[in-house]
Chains A and B, each alone.
Chain A
Amino acid sequence: MKIKIIEKKDIKNLLKEAVKEWGVYAPQKNLGGDVWFDALPKQAAELDRALDNIVLEDADALISPKDIFFPQLESCFEFNDGKIHETVESSPKLLFGIRSCDLKGLLFSDDFYKRNFGDKYYLSRIENRFIVVKGCIKPPRPACFCVSAKTGPFADRGYDLQLVETPDSYLIETGSRKGEDFIKKHEKLFKDYSAGADKTISQIKKIACESIELKVDFQKALEMMSKDGFVPEENYKRIGERCIYCGGCLYVCPTCTCFNVFDNFKDKAGERMRNWDACVFEGYTRETSGHNPRKEKWQRTSRRYEHKLKYDYKLTGMSGCVGCGRCLSSCPVDIGMSKFIQEITEKRKTM
């Protein structure tokens, strides 16, 4: 398909069309000035207000949009007098302006939730999903290291459409049949971009790559971590001493999937719920007897880094870190994955 182009001023019109058919999620600035990947309202006046708050250019979405498919708190089923009613959500969802690192996180999670026993809650939510990536021209946060992790700043697969930003318009790369159909459906808003599209796009991508200043030797780290016992316990102990075990880095991480399960109950009716959990919490592995196999802080620090860089890679060939940098930018004590990688590959203390 030929490269299409849409003018920036037409994005609002495109999204107004899209909300008729899809639940549209886009990065929006809230009252506090933070960017969240929220649903666009369907009602006209509210939609207009929300469209004014959309930020595509340098959006630093605080948490990855994983919560659209794996909410922080969700119902698994309701029960009343011993009868169970399944609560599964599967409405069509269009993600507009997701970053390539976050897309990698979603693809990683898709694979995880399909493995062994499929997770119906997650898989129902992604069943009818349309992804529009907005490649990053500049890093949304200083901690970004997607070029090193080979996850950005533009996506190489998994998208339906990808926006390549120019000063007043977006060039559109089409990644799927669904993407082509979408463009056809809204063809009034798109024009053909003929002259030297490929060259223009590769030039833009090259400059975008160069703008990511934080570089780490990601591949070397993966190889080093694959050797058992490579990182001395002392390193984990030192980092573990600084960590405050708040779990923040895991909540913002695009590939963290752990959850806790509990019942909410009143009289004879209630709900089985699940919510995000974090492997750095002391209670995460504590058994009913009180025995806790990962009682020591450093054991949990080790688990956190080795799960992402060693075990995920060993099991899937994909790293569990997508280089978004959120763990570092959200950390109250300045600990993060890029620093850990620097520490082991450059053999210097970074944390």
Chain B
Amino acid sequence: MNMKNEYIPYPAVIEEVKKETFDTTTFRVRFKDKAFAENFQYKQGQFMEISVLGAGEAPISITSSPSKKGFLEFTIRAAGKVTKGIHNLKKGDNLHLRGPYGNSFPFEEIKGKNIYFIAGGIGLAPLRSLINMVFDNRKDFKYIKLLYGAKTPEELCFKDELEAWKKIPDTEVWLTVDKPCDGWGCRVGVVTELWKDTHVHPENAVAIVCGPPIMIKFVVIELRKTGFKNKDIIMTLERYMKCGIGKCGHCNIGEKFVCVDGPVFNYEQVEQLPHKEGVF
């Protein structure tokens, strides 16, 4: 049968490994086929299915920005069989990829706006794709604030970039942790505590949220209290996924597939989902 087999992954090689935290690592990966690598396109917020042959396959969001061509970056926490399998790989090792899948964060639509990036833990990884794309087109956007929380200072990802982003004009980076260490100079508490550090204002603004389900839930409550409209609260939903292409059924909520119709939804769309099926 002459059709593309969407389940067959393509060989790629790991060209850089960077440890982010004790259990989280960023892998820079390039498709082995040079022409394929150069023509490969994706959008901010999309994900790939990563295979470690023998261990299995897992959906992982792309953390690199589409404005950087030729390679892909994934920030992965060693949590399950496949992600632990990926963590056992080193520079020069092979893995297999298919994708990109899912919809994407808006980009053109949010130009000219103030942007609040709100992230929890490894939730910064999918946001980073959009953040760097926004910074690569800095003049198209107004004020930018990143509100980022993690369990401990050690567990903050992209530490070098957090420092670099702070230095970009009209940009603020605010950090908080649940458990501080000696010398921690920032806030302690959940990410919504950062409302005390910086003014969060809904005017001409969008909030883009990514993190664990419980964090998203409380951030949405706080944003709505602050006056954000539902459609200006944009988030990615997390769901157990297998196939990534709307077939295996695991990520189904109501008639939506998070893998195909999402993972990016605004809160107006999220409100329409059947919450008894457990959206968060």
Contacts and interface: CB of A to CB of B under 8 A. Distances in A.
B5 A299 contact: no
Contact of B3 (A76, A115, A123, A288): A123
Contacts of B245: 116-117, 119
Interface stretch (B129-137, B173-181, B219-227, B247-255): B247-255
Contact of A118 (B6, B9, B56, B257): B6
A90 interface: yes
A293 B280 contact: yes
Contacts of B274: 228, 306
B96 to A, nearest CB: 7
Interface in B1-60: 1, 3-9, 11, 51, 53-57
Contacts of B247: 112-113, 117, 119, 257, 259
A277 interface: yes
B1 A88 contact: yes
B56 A270 contact: no
A84 B9 contact: yes
Interface string A306-325: 11000110110000000000
Interface stretch (B140-148, B159-167, B235-243): B235-243
Interface string B75-87: 0000110010000
Given A257-B249, A294-B277, A311 B57 contact: no
B94 interface: yes
Given A257-B249, A289-B79, A299 B6 contact: no
A47 interface: no
B196 interface: no
B70 interface: no
B221 to A, nearest CB: 18
A242 interface: no
A263 B278 contact: no
Interface in A273-304: 274, 277, 279, 284-289, 291-295, 299, 302-303
Contacts of B248: 258-261, 274, 277
A285 B278 contact: yes
B83 A288 contact: yes
A115 B250 contact: no
A291 B213 contact: yes
B239 A77 contact: no
Given A77-B8, A261-B242, A294-B278, A314 B249 contact: no
25 contacts: A76-B7, A77-B8, A112-B247, A116-B257, A117-B246, A118-B6, A119-B247, A120-B4, A123-B3, A259-B247, A259-B249, A261-B57, A263-B54, A265-B53, A284-B240, A285-B240, A285-B278, A287-B238, A287-B239, A293-B280, A294-B277, A295-B278, A299-B278, A306-B274, A314-B255
Interface of A: 76-77, 79, 82, 84, 86, 88, 90, 112-113, 115-121, 123-124, 127, 228, 233, 257-263, 265, 270, 272, 274, 277, 279, 284-289, 291-295, 299, 302-303, 306-307, 311-312, 314-315
The 4 closest A-B pairs by CB, nearest first: A293-B278, A258-B249, A265-B54, A117-B245
